[in-house]
Amino acid sequence: MVFFLSLREAWRNKMGMILFFAIPFVFLGAVELTAGGGTVAVKLYYPDETLQVLLTMHLAAIVFVAAAVCGFLSAYYALILFHQDFDYFRFCVFNGLHPAVYLAGRFGFFLTLLLFLAAGTTLLTGALVPITHPGNVFAGFLLIGVVYGACGGLAGMMTREFLVAFLCVALLADIDAAWLQNPVYYSAGQNIEIIRWLPAFYPCQMIFAAGFTEDPNPAAAPGSLVYAGVVLCMLLAVIVMRLRRVRHPNRGPAPGVQHDLRSIHTGGRP
């Protein structure tokens, strides 16, 4: 039930549907039309060495913009799923919906959305530039979607103001995926250790290594999985804490709460 309600909610969100289909084409189309023909040395950080891959500005820009777009859209849709209508689902839990059913339906739809987003981004990127390992590139887009989706969900759960949460998501995607992970920037930047701790670092390394080398980075996938697991656990913990504040109508009133106040929410039943 929660899965199909989430599907209807996403379908009725006209702005979200426009962003889902328009942003990848608009941004990647703009890069395709404007990217220069120069070259840039992209640094790939393997466990035992740092490998430099010489790419054209066009190839590097297409892949890095695709990763930034995938991350932003994932965070935006997670913000919608775990912020909008959350009070409605809390009311459903209050009336007997098991929290596990809510979590399974919501996260199931979120994962389905990420699969479609990662697949579409991979297909669009592969149509614009040649990539060596499409399967691993798809996995990289999926992992950056999971990481940024969890960050977007956390932003949506930590504040009741949608604009504040959206601003947090937009700033994170702009500073990290769209700026610091730009190979033109970090390949010549200082304090690379700081950039390595940011959410998009390992997924972007995985995407570039799988896209343009024969040797996928063996540290990128575990690093991405660890980061994704940590932020997902944080999101799950915040959701569970907020759901645990809901008191089932069959339980006794909280200490200090008058029975009359409780009866307002239970239709007057004792």
* Cα–Cα distance measured from residue 74 to residue 80, given in angstroms and rounded to the nearest whole number: 10
* Per-domain boundaries in the chain: 2-247
pLDDT at 38: 83
- C-alpha gyration radius of the chain: 21
Give the H or E element holding residue 227. helix 220-244
Report the amino acid identity of residue 76: Y
User: What phi-psi label fits residue 45: left (phi over 0), alpha (psi between -120 and 50 degrees) or beta?
Assistant: beta
pLDDT by residue, tens only, the chain of 270 residues? 677 777 777 777 778 788 888 889 999 999 998 887 788 888 888 888 888 888 888 898 899 899 999 999 999 888 888 877 677 677 777 777 787 887 888 888 999 999 999 999 999 999 999 999 999 999 999 999 999 999 988 888 888 788 888 888 888 888 888 787 877 776 666 677 788 888 888 999 999 999 988 888 888 889 899 999 999 999 888 888 887 765 545 544 444 444 443 433 444 444
Report the amino acid identity of residue 208: F
pLDDT at 20: 84
* Residue in this structure with the two tokens 């054209």, named with its chain if needed: 56
Distance from first CA to last CA of the chain, Å, rounded? 29
CB-based contacts of 55, cutoff 8 Å, min separation 6: 39, 40, 41, 42, 183, 212
pLDDT at 14: 79
Its pTM stands at 0.83
Structure tokens at 188: 């010549």
CB 144 within 8 Å of CB 154:
no
| Sign of the alpha-carbon torsion through 131, 229, 81, 5 | positive
pLDDT at 121: 94
